[in-house]
Amino acid sequence: MPAPERGNVVKRWGELLTEHKEDLAVLVQAEAGKITSEALGEVQEMIDICDFAVGQSRMLYGKTMPSERAGHRLMETWHPLGVVGIITAFNFPVAPYAWNTALALVCGDTVVWKPSEATVLSALGTNALLERAARECEAPNHINQVVIADRNGGQQLVDDPRVALISATGSVPMGREVGPRVAERFGRVLLELGGNNGAIVGPSADLDLTLRGVVFAAVGTAGQRCTSMRRLIVHESVVDELTEKLVEAYGTLSIGDPRNESNLVGPLMNEKSFGAMQEALREAQDQGGTVLTGGERVLAEELPEAYYVQPAIVRMPGQSDVVKKETFAPILYVMSYSEFSEAIELHNGVPQGLSSAIFTNDQLEAERFLSSSGSDCGIANVNIGTSGAEIGGAFGGEKDTGGGRESGSDSWKAYMRQATNTVNYSGELPLAQGVKFL
Ligand code: UN1
């Protein structure tokens, strides 16, 4: 199928996702525990990437460059890669699948998806809509497959030489396993792993705006986004005021059944997540931190077995081991700084490099943060929190985050193979670099 026709399949998928937005959001909510607005937002993210990919299907551009030889054309062409294996995590059960799939399909690839075992209904629903779109558009059979499997199933996908690209979203330890296994067989990998996202708050920041940006990023999705804000690095002149406002705002958060529209914070995924949060809070205290608010389990009558928690704010004396770890729960570590260079050092001094932000009204400070000696992350924002990226930009990060880029911009190139073509229409056979032969 020509690329724009492949785009039609994705276009139809986007229409079906729009039609069934609420239905899919119900599944996402049931399995991942997101509040309604965030569950709907996740499905919207799929619809958005479908729109993007449909446009991309007419823009799989290759360059033409001047040849050094007369009567020659030098150009590049892009071709489908083959089968793309997609591994996704429970916290965003469907959107990252769609980022990969919408682009892979317009690029002419087929996809095999291994979703998290915790979110299979969302996966089956999403896949059923894609199957319907493919059928209606008379696409070849089996361009998309879902494999409901445990870790062993995931490993088979990773090790299978027929799978040209493994795109995996998940933890750093998972990526450490997947990366070398795929490299061993010279397959391609696209890794989007853990984040330990920080924000710097400068002395000129609008503190009311900062407060809203921080609370959404730190508390949204109960701190279970890979983009969740976990570290706040605040200038010493405003740290007390901002911390006080944050503690007050945390006190007003409504926590409980995510289906109830008045609640902003749903449950943690399971008991293990709750245990990890408690462990991190203990470690933080051992390392000189003071828990200013939160950490306690909140019991909800209608769902007594669910692990709801009061999001926590911990004041830390400075950099420490616990702050360098990604704990997948709503804990915000607050540190203070006096010089901007110190803030950057604290900010970049962690193994992960996904998302970052600065809150400031000082243009020079903002530019320094975005410069090559500023934030070392794949995403760097000004006056916006670390989470909630749009699909138009490339999504991914550096260091332990794995280096992959999904979603917008020119991420499509990861799903294609590039060929360089030289065409000789001169009737002679001049060799490059002036080499003489025969
Ligand atoms: C994730 O947590 O794995 O930027 C993805 C965001 C969302 C995607 C998060 N658009 O927060």
pLDDT beyond 90 at 438: no
Q: What is the pLDDT of residue 82?
A: 97
Q: For atom 1 of ligand 1, which residue has the closest CA?
A: 226
Question: Which of 395, 405, 407, 411 most suits a substitution to test ligand 1, by most atoms within 8 Å of the C-beta?
Answer: 395
Q: How many A from CA of 210 to the centre of ligand 1?
A: 20
Longest dimension (CA), the chain: 87
Query: Is residue 212 located within the same domain as residue 351?
Result: yes
Predicted confidence (pLDDT) per residue in 129-159, tens digit: 999 999 999 999 899 999 999 999 999 999 9
Residue 346 banded pLDDT, cuts 50, 70, 90? very high
Ligand 1 closest atom vs CA 389: 4
Predicted confidence (pLDDT) per residue in 203-212, tens digit: 999 999 999 9
For residue 392, tell me if it sits in a domain.
no
Q: Which residues pair with 234 in a beta bridge?
A: 201, 336
Predicted confidence (pLDDT) per residue in 270-290, tens digit: 999 999 999 999 999 999 999
Q: How many A from CA of 54 to the centre of ligand 1?
A: 21
Residue 264 banded pLDDT, cuts 50, 70, 90? very high
Question: Which of 47, 92, 326 most suits a substitution to test ligand 1, by most atoms within 8 Å of the C-beta?
Answer: 92
Predicted confidence (pLDDT) per residue in 358-412, tens digit: 999 999 999 999 999 999 999 999 999 999 999 999 999 999 999 999 999 999 9
Q: How many A from CA of 389 to the centre of ligand 1?
A: 7
For residue 372, tell me if it sits in a domain.
yes
Overall average pLDDT of the 16-38 stretch: 98
Q: Which residues pair with 428 in a beta bridge?
A: none
What are residue 214's phi and psi, to 5 degrees? -70, -45
Distance of alpha carbon 378 from alpha carbon 4, whole angstroms: 30
Q: What is the pLDDT of residue 336?
A: 98
Query: Is residue 119 located within the same domain as residue 201?
Result: no
User: What's 192's DSSP letter?
Assistant: E
Instruction: Confirm or reject: Cβ of 227 under 6 Å from ligand 1.
Output: yes
For residue 202, tell me if it sits in a domain.
yes
Query: Is residue 203 located within the same domain as residue 342?
Result: yes
Query: Is residue 217 located within the same domain as residue 339?
Result: yes
- Catalytic residue annotation: 192, 226
Query: Is residue 242 located within the same domain as residue 165?
Result: no
Instruction: Confirm or reject: Cβ of 46 under 6 Å from ligand 1.
Output: no
Q: What is the pLDDT of residue 300?
A: 83
Instruction: Confirm or reject: Cβ of 225 under 6 Å from ligand 1.
Output: yes
Instruction: Confirm or reject: Cβ of 91 under 6 Å from ligand 1.
Output: yes
Question: Which of 116, 171, 227, 401 most suits a substitution to test ligand 1, by most atoms within 8 Å of the C-beta?
Answer: 227
Residue 73, CB-side half-sphere exposure with 13 Å CA sphere: 7
Tell me which of 353, 382, 411 is where a domain ends.
Answer: 382
Neighbours of 162 (CB within 10 A): 10
Residue 304 banded pLDDT, cuts 50, 70, 90? confident
For the domain that residue 153 is a member of, what is the CATH number?
3.40.605.10
For residue 437, tell me if it sits in a domain.
no
Residue showing tokens 């890794």: 191
Query: Is residue 188 located within the same domain as residue 202?
Result: no
Query: Is residue 227 located within the same domain as residue 374?
Result: yes
Ligand 1 closest atom vs CA 395: 4
Ligand 1 closest atom vs CA 226: 2
Residue 429 banded pLDDT, cuts 50, 70, 90? very high
Query: Is residue 334 located within the same domain as residue 354?
Result: yes
What are residue 140's phi and psi, to 5 degrees? -55, 150
Query: Is residue 128 located within the same domain as residue 140?
Result: yes
For the domain that residue 210 is a member of, what is the CATH number?
3.40.309.10
pLDDT beyond 90 at 302: no
For residue 15, tell me if it sits in a domain.
yes
Query: Is residue 284 located within the same domain as residue 332?
Result: yes
pLDDT beyond 90 at 303: no
- pTM of the entire structure? 0.96
Q: How many A from CA of 45 to the centre of ligand 1?
A: 9
Q: What is the pLDDT of residue 301?
A: 80
Q: Where are the beta strands (DSSP E) in 98-218?
A: 110-114, 144-146, 163-169, 188-192, 197-201
What are residue 89's phi and psi, to 5 degrees? -105, 165
Predicted confidence (pLDDT) per residue in 220-249, tens digit: 999 999 999 999 999 999 999 999 999 999
Query: Domain range for residue 124?
Result: 3-193+402-422
Query: Is residue 127 located within the same domain as residue 86?
Result: yes
Q: Where are the beta strands (DSSP E) in 155-305?
A: 163-169, 188-192, 197-201, 229-235, 290-293, 297-298
Distance of alpha carbon 214 from alpha carbon 227, whole angstroms: 12
Predicted confidence (pLDDT) per residue in 47-95, tens digit: 999 999 999 999 999 999 999 999 999 999 999 999 999 999 999 999 9
Work out the mean pLDDT of the chain and round it to a whole number: 97
Predicted confidence (pLDDT) per residue in 147-200, tens digit: 999 999 999 999 999 999 999 999 999 999 999 999 999 999 999 999 999 999
Task: Give how many domains the chain has, as a whole number.
Answer: 2
Neighbours of 383 (CB within 10 A): 15
Predicted confidence (pLDDT) per residue in 84-136, tens digit: 999 999 999 999 999 999 999 999 999 999 999 999 999 999 999 999 999 99
Ligand 1 closest atom vs CA 379: 4
Percentage of residues in the chain having pLDDT higher than 70? 100
- Give the residue among 350, 357, 308 at the shortest CA–CA distance from 172: 350
Instruction: Confirm or reject: Cβ of 388 under 6 Å from ligand 1.
Output: yes
For residue 158, tell me if it sits in a domain.
yes
Distance of alpha carbon 139 from alpha carbon 104, whole angstroms: 14
For residue 241, tell me if it sits in a domain.
yes
Distance of alpha carbon 104 from alpha carbon 411, whole angstroms: 10
Q: How many A from CA of 291 to the centre of ligand 1?
A: 27
For residue 432, tell me if it sits in a domain.
no
Reading the block at residue 152, the tokens are 């062993």
Query: Is residue 178 located within the same domain as residue 153?
Result: yes
Instruction: Confirm or reject: Cβ of 335 under 6 Å from ligand 1.
Output: no
Instruction: Confirm or reject: Cβ of 94 under 6 Å from ligand 1.
Output: no
Neighbours of 107 (CB within 10 A): 24
**Lateral strand order in the sheet of 64-65:** 64-65, 72-80, 416-424
Ligand 1 closest atom vs CA 192: 3
Percentage of residues in the chain having pLDDT higher than 90? 98
